[in-house]
Amino acid sequence: MEPSAQAADSVTKYLRDNDISREDFLLTLELAAAMRRGDFRTFYAGVQPYMKLAEEYLGVSLPPDLQEQVRQGHMTTQAAQAFSRERMDRAMAQTNFQRTQQQHRQFAEQSTAQQQTQQRAFLANQVRDTVNAWEAKIMQSDPDYAAKRAAVQDTMWAVVREKGVPQSADHAVKIAEEALRRVNERYRSWAPQRRPTSRAPSSTGRTTGATAEPKTLLEAVKVARETARL
């Protein structure tokens, strides 16, 4: 397989160096195959247009318009031959110039597309790493983040649809922060409301009313004692 690949590379390089298009290369192969199998009619029909151009360039024959000029005496045969060759040179030069310009444009477009692809890949990696670092930092300060993480990541997509894809790593962090804010609001709305413990009036004349939620172990013990006496 390696010699075949090297041969293909050599042919490709030869065609590129000599500015031979794919169409011309395939036509040459078809004509060579026709001649090889003895199909001279196909071979002659294929090479005739090129032979005609060569004859007109070399002065063997003249194009119809220059033949008419010579017939009417407006131009000598030698002048018509020189004009035919100069005209063909200009046409070929113009064609080569246009083809070169097109190749340059294609190369520039490919380079631009490749550069844009590389930039998008770099930004995607930067956004991923930055958001991962942000999540790791949030986990250190929010012990409940592991439970909220899936909801935060789903909400990120909703924020992206609203505000657009991240244009930078900082933009991605802002999107993540907005997603976390929305999830935290939902968690607060879903959490049950804590109510203070009520105390019923007692016959001993202790203070009635609501007891605040204990904040320390000592307060919790006192509340438990009071409750046990009811």
Q: Are the C-beta atoms of 155 and 181 separated by less than 8 Å?
A: no
Residue 230 has pLDDT above 50, yes or no: no
What confidence score (pLDDT) does residue 144 get? Answer: 85
| Segment 195-222, tens digit of pLDDT | 555 555 554 445 455 556 655 545 555 6
Please name the residue that has the structure tokens 């794919």.
22
Residue 225 has pLDDT above 80, yes or no: no
Q: What DSSP designation does 216 have?
A: S
Instruction: Tell me the mean pLDDT in the region 171-200.
Output: 76
Nearest-CA neighbor of 84 among 99, 65, 101, 105?
A: 65
Residue 27 has pLDDT above 60, yes or no: yes
Within 10 angstroms of residue 30's Cβ, the number of other Cβ atoms is 14
Tokens of 100: 């070169």
Higher pLDDT, 78 or 19: 78
| Segment 40-64, tens digit of pLDDT | 999 999 999 999 999 999 999 999 9
Higher pLDDT, 25 or 222: 25
| Segment 93-135, tens digit of pLDDT | 988 888 888 878 888 888 888 888 888 899 889 989 999 999 9
- b vs e for 49-75, b when ≥16 Cβ sit within 10 Å of the residue's Cβ? eeeeeeebbeeebbbeebeebbeeeeb
**Interacting residues of 208 by C-beta distance below 8 A, sequence separation 6+:** 199, 200, 201, 202
Instruction: Tell me the mean pLDDT in the region 155-164.
Output: 88
What confidence score (pLDDT) does residue 34 get? Answer: 93
What confidence score (pLDDT) does residue 210 get? Answer: 55
Could you give the C-alpha distances from 141 to 41, 131, 168, in angstroms and in order? 86, 16, 25
Q: How confident is the model at residue 92 (pLDDT cuts 50, 70, 90)?
A: confident
Higher pLDDT, 77 or 201: 77
